[in-house]
Structure 1
């Protein structure tokens, strides 16, 4: 299609709706689970803890989980840049993410199974965190780059949309239907998100892996932290992975 000046109008990539719908469902699943986590721990899972210590222990578990979510992007970015590419890394970590939600729904009375579910969610959610937005950028080229801002506006709007309704609804579901249903609903949404993302696999632009990519995730992190010093990026990923795993496994096995 051309405009009145004879120039071809940029065309929106047809694969973008798959990514945006995936992000909306994923954000609902994450914030839905996160917003009922601490109340559930206090009122159900940590009842063996003395009441005056229960709230503090629940906050410790919650913050340890959040630490994992923000450490695992280092691992996800490294795996994507070095081995699997963005699509494969997001897809496989999304399946891990789904397994984590399933553990929360199944092991509502088993503290070790529940904590393992939190670990899987931290790995899945954190691992895909640095990849999805950059994967959106990969779908554009010089002919339609002007449309990228509109897409990113929609992308971040759907994040806020999903998180708002998850924060609003999930405490109600926990109160009315119990933990299995309340944790199961985010799991179903995450499974739907994964199916939607997979459905667009043949339409996506897949940027090839390049060992010398100057804009790779670890190169960006290394430059931000160490300037032009070389060799630090992999070390950061390893330290981040060890710290995340260590912090999640150091939660005391109670009960």
Structure 2
């Protein structure tokens, strides 16, 4: 599981490290020739959909394929997506197909491989399970650290498709290891947890085909109207993604569902935390777009006297995560219940806001020439402090506040906060058409800082709604 996830993350972060710069590069050097704003919007929607499809991906595994086959097919589809990206065609058709395949494959693989790791251990082996997940998460961040360095170097000199090919090879290696190691799983994930009946399968097939036809027809009519553009499409997808949590929380709170007063209060508190998380990811996940463009255009890419690629700067984040996870784990144990979940979320918002204050200063200095890469090192360091305060506690507080009738579904809702943040973050590129880069960074910083201060101020009220102190086990990044 460690090896499979490491190579899958290698392929994901390798692609992410060069995707935006490839899209914005001139067709004369093999790019798509999009504006940086459009590239940012597309990458934002792409990241948002990756997290959104985790919900149906988990359902397919639980009701149709079983987790083991879902991971296998997911990895295969991801590999095919990267192969499509690696085709050196002038048209963007292969790029679009590749991204769609990677989104679909990740929806099958990502949620189910984590579920399988948890099932490798007996129910009462909590300590061993926690240790197993620690090893698993190390694989995530190891793949995330290595990929931008390798793929970025291969793609240097406008060899974009060679970089995409490396991501395909990485996923292929993960699949080989997964198949060869099947015997060690001892049947884990072989069967769906709640297999569909024949009648339910037919109904699912009809509904799926109807949905595909409706979406295809809507896109065809939109294209025929002459108003379908990449920017308009990204905006439409963002609106749909925003509607999902609004509709879901409305469904829970406005219906009866036999919720107790305590469960309703907990859900009201959770909405605050959900919004805070979405704001955090809105800024944090601008790393593969805004920060990558800054590294490419305004940064002297010399680190300890060694010339690095712009893509390599994407390795700073997972490196700091691997270094500081033990530090923060020990810190949370030491602080215990004295620091609650709302306070940790507020701290995370202040950190990500501070990181963009630093970016505003760096971008102002960049007006008179390229700045040192150490500015980006500092930005990523501060952001990781925020992530390690928010990310580990997210699933825990979601599980704690979820009504009994929605326990399983609510764990998927936590990832929709990331989806919302990524989608909205992609749209913030439109602001750069009307303001300078320093002003852009300061506007986003102000949103996060104000939200962090408000969350600190409302912590007593949220603790009342949650009805107890938070006890959150130390954890690691969700990436």
- Whether TM exceeds 0.5 here: the answer is yes
**Retained in 2: the 8 A contact 1:41–1:58?**
yes
Alignment of 1:209 onto 2:195: no
Question: What residue number does 2:271 align with?
Answer: none
- Larger helix fraction of residues: 2
Question: What residue number does 2:32 align with?
Answer: 46
Cα drift, residue 180 of structure 1: 1.9
Q: 1:110 aligns with which of 69, 86, 91?
A: 91
- Secondary structure at 1:209 match in 2: coil
Question: What residue number does 2:18 align with?
Answer: 36
**Retained in 1: the 8 A contact 2:66–2:193?**
no
Find the aligned partners of 2:15 and 2:55 in 1 and give their Cα distance.
23
Find the aligned partners of 1:108 and 1:67 in 2 and give their Cα distance.
26
Q: 1:191 aligns with which of 155, 172, 175?
A: 172
- Structure-2 change in CA distance of 1:133 and 1:172 (3 Å): same
CA deviation profile, 1:168-208 (whole Å, cap 9, x unmatched):
33222211470121110010010110111111223313254
Find the aligned partners of 2:49 and 2:97 in 1 and give their Cα distance.
12
Find the aligned partners of 1:210 and 1:125 in 2 and give their Cα distance.
20
Q: RMSD across aligned C-alpha pairs, in angstroms?
A: 3.1
**Retained in 1: the 8 A contact 2:74–2:105?**
yes
CA deviation profile, 1:73-112 (whole Å, cap 9, x unmatched):
1121010110111001110111111100000001452201
Structure 1 unaligned blocks of 5 or more: 1-18, 213-220, 248-255
After the TM superposition, which of the residue ranges 69-78 and 202-211 deviates more from structure 2? 202-211
**TM (normalized to structure 1)?**
0.71
Q: 2:2 aligns with which of 11, 16, 20?
A: 20
- Secondary structure at 1:75 match in 2: helix
Find the aligned partners of 2:83 and 2:57 in 1 and give their Cα distance.
21
Structure 2 unaligned blocks of 5 or more: 196-244, 253-402, 424-479
**Retained in 1: the 8 A contact 2:4–2:178?**
yes
For CA contacts below 8 A with separation 6 or more, give which structure has more relative contact order.
Answer: 1
Matches within 5 A, 1:90-239: 90-141=71-122, 145-176=126-157, 178-204=159-185, 205-207=187-189, 208-211=191-194, 226=252, 227=403
Cα drift, residue 149 of structure 1: 1.8
Alignment of 1:77 onto 2:58: yes
- Structure-2 change in CA distance of 1:155 and 1:108 (3 Å): farther
Find the aligned partners of 1:174 and 1:114 in 2 and give their Cα distance.
16
**Retained in 1: the 8 A contact 2:74–2:107?**
no
Alignment: residue pair count: 206
- Secondary structure at 1:131 match in 2: helix
Find the aligned partners of 2:71 and 2:88 in 1 and give their Cα distance.
25
**Retained in 2: the 8 A contact 1:108–1:180?**
no
Find the aligned partners of 1:196 and 1:72 in 2 and give their Cα distance.
25
- Structure-2 change in CA distance of 1:135 and 1:167 (3 Å): same
**Retained in 2: the 8 A contact 1:103–1:116?**
yes
Question: What residue number does 1:14 align with?
Answer: none
**Retained in 2: the 8 A contact 1:25–1:192?**
yes
